[in-house]
Structure formats: structure tokens, C-alpha cells
Amino acid sequence: MSVLRGKNILLGISGGIAAYKTATLVRHFIKAGAHVKVVVTPASKDFITPLTLSTLSKNPVFSSFYNEEDENAVWNNHVELGLWADLFVIAPATANTMSKMVTGNSDNLLIATYLSAKCPVYVAPAMDLDMYRHPSTKDSFDKLEAFGNIIIPAESGELASGLYGEGRMAEPENIVSFIEKHLEGQLPLRGKKILVTAGPTYEPIDPVRFIGNHSSGKMGYDIALAAADAGAEVILVSGPTHLRVSHEQIQLVKVTSSAEMYTACHTYFDGVDVAVAAAAVADYRPKHVAAQKIKKNEAHLTLELEKTTDILASLGEKKKGQFLIGFALETENEVENAKAKIRKKNLDLIVLNSLNDEGAGFGKPTNKVTFINSRFEEEPMALKSKEAVAQDIVNKIKEHYNV
């Protein structure tokens, strides 16, 4: 899964022959999961049509401050466009456009939007060989980089003039790859390994039946995704669930029983920096598992249960510097019970949620939690989506590492 997934990308296109490649560039951004809007200079429309770009981006293309043919037209707000974008990519960036970016000569919508943008700006230059080597162009590169813009180096190849050399705009796939690698290098949890447990465990009674619970696994899967999006390498140990994961930074390890989850967690724990135990592990399991399906012959069935091994406590006993996060689902004396678990299980942080809180618990899209750290400091949070709670948990990991 690309680091561009979910990003708002504003593509600025100036008037060079390489503009014809931007149709492919838009498709690559969309394929990576980004949302794309396009702003063009008037000259660029000689090389690529707004109709093509709007069809591919599924958004209107902006080319002027207002529609001169419609006296009732609404002003195209360059400030809103600049604030919408998570990334601003100017490709191709001609010598003329780069010069205007340096001087602030905002005589078109693209430059006005650039001057309003608060996000990272990537510049993919495109021009002929002599223009690319000219001292004024070199000066533009230096000043643009001094402003904090990121230059995507031009490539060598056959140019529109028939010459061969530097100045060719980077190919669309190379532009996307360059941006992805640049963003990945800035991810706060890059280089960290995180173990996350998720879902229920099923404890067998016989080959057909089991003891389980109502956990959907969503909380753990959301935590794994948020951690992976922050650059971490994630090992997701999951009990039975219908959920799927497709992020390339997440290794999914499927288990069924608490014993299998225990083995998987201890297999990976020594090699991770953080462990987040979000799974709803069964506290008890049948002491004897029938080899054949139990027949429905008696009016009553008595099962003898035994305690399962406390996975989180066992990790707390052996941790050597790992940041260990547990969960507590309580119905009474919530805070006191959660603090007792911090002591008993040697936790650094516990995420407390109460079944008494409306909107919290199993099978809900939302959760309401209170963070309690090892110093017993409490931080109650508002009711949020589980995705937002997952991000809050990942933020706690970032705080721990000061990133």
C-alpha cells in the first residue's frame, strides 16, 4: 500500500511539451490511493486538455481565477486550493514557471496557489538542454530549494528540440516513486517494529464447538494500519475475524486459540520495540477437548474450565525495553482495576474502555477510552471512531520515542 493513500495531491501543470505525460501521472496518483485536483496554466492547455485531466482525476480542472464566459461564475479560490492539498506537485515546471515561483510573480492561478500552499511542494522541471544548464535556471533551483521546495531531478533523454541530454521531465512512475521514498524517509516510526494482537480467541470444546467472545478485531487492525502508515514494520497476530489487511508494512499472523496466540507473541516479542495487546483473549478454556463431536444426548452438559496463560503478563515479565501497551475492558471499578493491571502486568500504558460508556465495546464503530500510564496519570478521551482511537494510540508511541 502506497504512502500516498488518502493524501490530497494538487497537481500543477505548466506549459511545456511534457504536459502530455500528466494524464499518466494523474492515473498513477489515483492508483496509489490519492485524491487529485489539478490546476493548470493557460499555456498548458495547448498540450493537455482540461477534459482529459478532469475525467481522470474526477474533479474539475482549475485554470483561471474565474470563468470569463460566465458573469455569475464563482471565483476559483487559490487559498482554499492551497490549504486543501497535503502535497503540491508541479510537473512539468518550466523555466518560466520556476522563475515566477522564485519572484512571486503571481500572474496566473497556479502561481497564486503555490504562494498560498502550506504543504510540501515538489517541482519536476522540464526544459531543453541549454535552458536547463543556464545560470538563471540554476539560480531558480537554488532559491526554490532554499524556500523548502523539493526538486525532482530531470532525466536525460531525447528532448523536443531533437537534442539529447538533461532536461527531460522525470517519467510519471519515477515522480511517484521519488515522492513515496521522500515521504517514507520522513515517517516518524520508520525503523520501529511493532507487535499488535487483535480479535478474539476460540477455545475448542470439540471439533465443532468452541468458547469465544464478540470481539471483531477492528480495534487491533486499525492500530496496525495506523502504525504502518506512520512507517513502522508491524506484526499483526490476529484471532479469527472477517477483517483483511493489505498494507505491505503489515505481516499478518493468523491464530485461533489463546495457546497459539501465546506462542506467536513470544516468537516475535524479543525482536520488537513496541507491543500493543488489543486482542480479547479468552480467560478460560475447556480442560478436556473431546476428540469427536459431543452428541446432544443429555439435558445438561458440564464443562470443566481451566485458566489460559495470561499473554500480556508473560510479555511484561520478559520485556527488555519494549514499550508495552495493554487494554482493559471493565464494567465496574474501572480505573482501579486498570491501574492494578499496570502493576501486575508491568505495563507502560493501558487503554481503558468501559462497557458502561455508550458507543464503546465490542462490535461498535466507535470507542471511548482513558489512557493511564505507568505513573498512573489519567487522560480521558472523547467518544471517537476506532480509527481515531487507533491514531491516538500511535501518537502515544510517537510521544514515547519523541518523534
Catalytic residues: 213
The Cα–Cα gap between 150 and 166 comes to 18
Coil, helix or strand at residue 306: strand
Cα angle 54-56-59, degrees, rounded to a multiple of 5:
40
The Cα–Cα gap between 161 and 153 comes to 20
The Cα–Cα gap between 31 and 19 comes to 19
Q: Which residues pair with 238 in a beta bridge?
A: 198, 254
CB 1 within 8 A of CB 246: yes
Element (H, E) at 22: helix 22-31
Cα angle 66-68-72, degrees, rounded to a multiple of 5:
75
Cα 211 to Cα 24, 258, 287, 296, distances in angstroms: 53, 11, 12, 17
The Cα–Cα gap between 306 and 206 comes to 15
Q: Which residue spans within 271-377 are E strands per DSSP?
A: 274-277, 284-286, 305-307, 323-330, 349-354, 366-367, 369-373
Coil, helix or strand at residue 204: strand
The Cα–Cα gap between 129 and 229 comes to 39
Cα-to-chain-centroid distance, residue 60: 26
For β-strands 35-40 and 8-13, DSSP reports them as parallel
The Cα–Cα gap between 331 and 361 comes to 10
Phi-psi label, residue 358: left if phi above 0, alpha if psi -120 to 50, beta otherwise: beta
